């Protein structure tokens, strides 16, 4: 298995190279050269596996054994998920008829990013140690990332104290929740560096991409990516789609070989901003998981919803000229979804194959697809927009539907599920991001044999402002009752953070150079 760039770089990389490099040299994102085939009897063989064992089977489809042996991969997986509080890692809970919550927040930072970043942190350490042993020299890696909140803390907790790895996380100053900020900045390990940038998450993300594109800087400091542009992030997230499918069948007392298992429809509702979490579901569907639809659930920063509604992928501008609207679900306050490029590649590739022209071989189709993506991404960079032809949009709608959810609808949904009027519902406290997904799920007109699984991306205690605002009229609700012990006193701890006064790559470069050159 090799990995190619979405933008056509002729150089194919191994899994290890793609993970360590993060971003292709032409600015593209890595995708697998081929979609792996599932084992012939995968549904029966995998149905009773633990989460860790299932991860081993799925990872092994993408990671050649000559790069990481099966035993070493198992050790990495065991180590990564030993930090979770549930043996199931991602438990599935029913909250009303035909609607389930997939809790992805039982890792060390109480957010879904832990599922991928606990693994990626250990993977970085393993690959770097192996590389240094082969070269017989000490090479360091500088992990660089931007965060709208949860990626930063999850990356920091996954990489703190790792040998030969320095970590620089950029976040938009004042635009993450107090808990998210404290989780990042109270980690005082020597190899961890937090940068609070005056600007938006998209500004931070643009700076990261700019520094990766700076070849001399990249080569000098050996940059590595932890954002979901890194393929290993997507790979790790594929697992919980399969695992939740098996959990659902088990909860319904349906055996994998029964007639009933073939008659259910599965719909995943995914709150998303950067398109990484839901992209993992797309890969699971392409691999063969029987998903009927993936519901793209956005807040008021709705670039993705607008694409699936009209085929236009473009930044919006509010009345004050800003491109990002601050909402109650800040991790989704994103103007450009960096992972969307991967989906566009597959849509274009399939569209080319459907055109009634002379037959082209695989190499020609891949080359033409990458050429189109390269041109489209340039349009997004320069003109902040692109418009796809109807045939491309139609292909996307076979797998996706989308919904836009306002802040008021988010609050109403939190309230609705805390105090359900229907006796078939249970009381459940949603964080604002998960509430966006649940609100989108509630809008769908589903059949009795359709089951919805909404991805719960964070513990509600991480977003006290939204939860307390939604539940302020419920006298019995006490926020401290849902507060994990790890959060007690968190906001008062000592912090380590560098303030960057403008969203300029040169200012961030200066901070990194000062920190690393003085070590």
Active-site positions?
A: 113
φ, ψ of residue 103 in degrees (nearest 5): -80, 110
> Are 487 and 195 within 8 A, CB to CB?
no
User: Could you give the CA distance from residue 167 to residue 481 in angstroms, rounded to a whole number?
Assistant: 34
Q: What residues are paired with 192 via a beta bridge?
A: 167
User: Could you give the CA distance from residue 481 to residue 396 in angstroms, rounded to a whole number?
Assistant: 43
Q: CA distances (Å), 183 to each of 111, 112, 305, in order?
A: 11, 15, 31
User: Could you give the CA distance from residue 42 to residue 432 in angstroms, rounded to a whole number?
Assistant: 35
CA dihedral 52, 438, 97, 92 (to 10 degrees): 10
User: Could you give the CA distance from residue 57 to residue 243 in angstroms, rounded to a whole number?
Assistant: 12
Q: What is residue 329's three-state secondary structure? A: coil
User: Could you give the CA distance from residue 212 to residue 505 in angstroms, rounded to a whole number?
Assistant: 11
Crossing angle of the two packed helices 113-135 and 231-251, in degrees rounded to 10: 140
User: Could you give the CA distance from residue 26 to residue 337 in angstroms, rounded to a whole number?
Assistant: 18
> Are 160 and 150 within 8 A, CB to CB?
no
């Amino acid at each position: 298995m090799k990995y190619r760039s979405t933008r056509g770089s002729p150089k194919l990389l191994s899994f290890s190279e793609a993970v360590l490099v993060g971003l292709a040299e032409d600015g593209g994102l890595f995708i697998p050269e081929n979609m792996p085939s599932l084992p012939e009897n995968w549904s029966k063989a995998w149905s009773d596996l633990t989460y860790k064992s299932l991860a081993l089977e799925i990872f092994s489809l993408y990671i050649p054994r000559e790069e990481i042996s099966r035993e070493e991969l198992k050790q990495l997986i065991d180590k990564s998920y030993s930090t979770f509080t549930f043996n199931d890692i991602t438990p599935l809970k029913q909250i009303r008829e035909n609607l389930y919550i997939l809790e992805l927040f039982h890792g060390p930072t109480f957010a879904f990013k832990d599922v991928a970043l606990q693994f990626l942190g250990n993977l970085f350490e393993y690959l770097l140690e192996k590389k240094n042993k082969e070269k017989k020299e000490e090479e360091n890696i500088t992990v660089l990332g931007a965060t709208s909140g949860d990626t930063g803390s999850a990356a920091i907790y996954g990489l703190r104290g790792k040998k030969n790895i320095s970590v620089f996380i950029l976040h938009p100053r004042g635009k993450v929740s107090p808990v998210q900020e404290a989780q990042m900045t109270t980690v005082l390990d020597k190899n961890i560096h937090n940068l609070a940038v005056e600007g938006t998450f998209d500004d931070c993300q643009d700076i990261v991409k700019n520094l990766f594109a700076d070849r001399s800087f990249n080569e000098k400091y050996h940059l590595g990516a932890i954002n979901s542009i890194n393929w290993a992030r997507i790979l790790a997230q594929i697992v919980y789609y399969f695992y939740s499918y098996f959990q659902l069948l088990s909860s319904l007392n349906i055996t994998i070989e029964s007639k009933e298992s073939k008659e259910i429809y599965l719909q995943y509702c995914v709150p998303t901003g950067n398109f990484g979490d839901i992209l993992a579901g797309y890969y699971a569907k392409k691999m063969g998981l029987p998903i009927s639809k993936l519901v793209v659930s956005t807040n008021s920063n709705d670039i993705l919803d607008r694409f699936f509604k009209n085929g236009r992928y473009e930044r919006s501008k509010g009345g004050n000229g800003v491109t990002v609207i601050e909402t109650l679900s800040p991790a989704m306050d994103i103007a450009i979804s960096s992972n969307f490029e991967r989906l566009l590649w597959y849509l274009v590739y399939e569209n080319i194959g459907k055109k009634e022209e002379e037959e082209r071989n695989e190499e020609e189709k891949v080359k033409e697809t990458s050429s189109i993506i390269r041109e489209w991404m340039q349009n997004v960079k320069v003109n902040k927009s692109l418009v796809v032809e109807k045939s491309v949009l139609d292909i996307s709608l076979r797998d996706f539907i989308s919904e836009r959810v306002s802040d008021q609808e988010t609050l109403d949904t939190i309230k609705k599920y805390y105090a359900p009027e229907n006796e078939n519902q249970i009381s459940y406290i949603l964080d604002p991001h998960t509430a966006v997904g649940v609100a989108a799920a509630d809008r769908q007109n589903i059949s009795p044999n359709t089951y919805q699984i909404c991805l719960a991306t964070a513990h509600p205690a991480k977003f006290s402002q939204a939860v307390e605002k939604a539940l302020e009229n419920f006298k019995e609700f006490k926020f401290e009752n849902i507060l994990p012990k790890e959060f007690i006193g968190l906001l008062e701890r000592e912090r380590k953070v560098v303030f960057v006064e403008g969203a300029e790559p040169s200012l961030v470069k200066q901070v990194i150079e000062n920190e690393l050159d003085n070590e």
